[in-house]
Amino acid sequence: MYEVHPVFEQPSDENEKVWRYMDFTKFISLLESSALYFTRADKFEDPFEGCYPKEEILAVEEMLDVDKSSRTEEQRRLEMEFFCDKSQRRKKYVFINCWHLNNHESAAMWKLYLKSNEGIAIQSTYQKLKNAFISDQRIYLGHVKYIDYETEYFDRRKHPSANLLRPFIYKRKSFGHEKEVRAIIEKLDGYTVNENPHEQKNTIHGLQAAINLDVLIEKIYVAPNAEPWFLEIVKSIIRRYDKHYEVMQSDLYKSPLY
């Protein structure tokens, strides 16, 4: 079920639309399982996923250098290494499901997530996504903030307390076009603070969280360049699952009238 978390910021308008773009096989999997798939954080391509920006690391180093009399140089080095290793280990126990926050379709998202014209976009709203989770697992939800990892800090004015999930709600500005909303699950079975970072105890690459599809789905769009037969197949599949969602083809590339 959705649960409030202090570092997860909510959009100003929770009725704003959210989108999840996927290929046809993932759409079938969604209908079959009535569950959303959460990918383990260290399986994403972005090497900065779940990491701290440069200024945060420098701030920790400065803090460790404040009282040099109580620590040897080797102790300070080990403490810094421990801090960095801990953030790397944490990625193996955080699972993420991503959505696009936008009241309009995104041409960039169609191109980014689809390998062919046989693609699907699930359109919901932020509020409906929040209310649709029926899993027993704690699920946190919020929009991603985009910063310069070379010059900026995490925003501690709104989040003054340290929290290990904080790095997972920030991304580099290069990804700002994604306008991402993230649902996150922590799965801490087997996690220990002193775990060797090179010993990967968590072998689960992803997990599923049950969801009420009828609460979640407002509309279903097929890719703008899809053939007419694909639209009919999608409608037919939905009927087989005894669902009654509105299905339409994206008119993103429809010719103008003027």
DSSP per residue, 200-220: ------EEEEEB-HHHH-SEE
Is residue 167 packed enough to be buried (19+ CB in 10 Å), middle (13-18) or exposed (0-12)? buried
Q: Which of 33, 89, 25, 10 is nearest to 216 (CA)?
A: 33
Residues of the chain with pLDDT > 70, as a percent, come to 79
Average pLDDT of span 185-189: 83
Q: Are 124 and 217 in contact (CB under 8 A)?
A: yes
Q: pTM for the whole thing?
A: 0.86
Q: Are 219 and 104 in contact (CB under 8 A)?
A: no
Q: Which amino acid is at 252?
A: L
Distance CA 22, CA 253 (A): 19
Question: What digits encode the pLDDT tens for the residues 204-250?
Answer: 889 999 999 999 999 999 999 999 999 999 999 999 999 999 999 99
Q: Which residue in the block uniquely carries the two structure tokens 């960039």?
A: 108
Q: Are 182 and 27 in contact (CB under 8 A)?
A: no
CA gyration radius, the chain: 21
Average pLDDT of span 43-57: 87
**pLDDT at res. 198:** 45
More confidently predicted of 163 and 14 = 14
* Tokens linked to 196: 């060797």
**137 phi/psi in degrees, rounded to 5:** -75, 150
Q: Which residue in the block uniquely carries the two structure tokens 């693609």?
A: 119
* Lowest pLDDT segment from 22-31, 157-166, 238-247: 157-166
Alpha helices in 97-224 (DSSP H): 107-113, 126-132, 213-216
Q: Which amino acid is at 232?
A: E
pLDDT mean across residues, the chain? 86
**pLDDT at res. 203:** 67
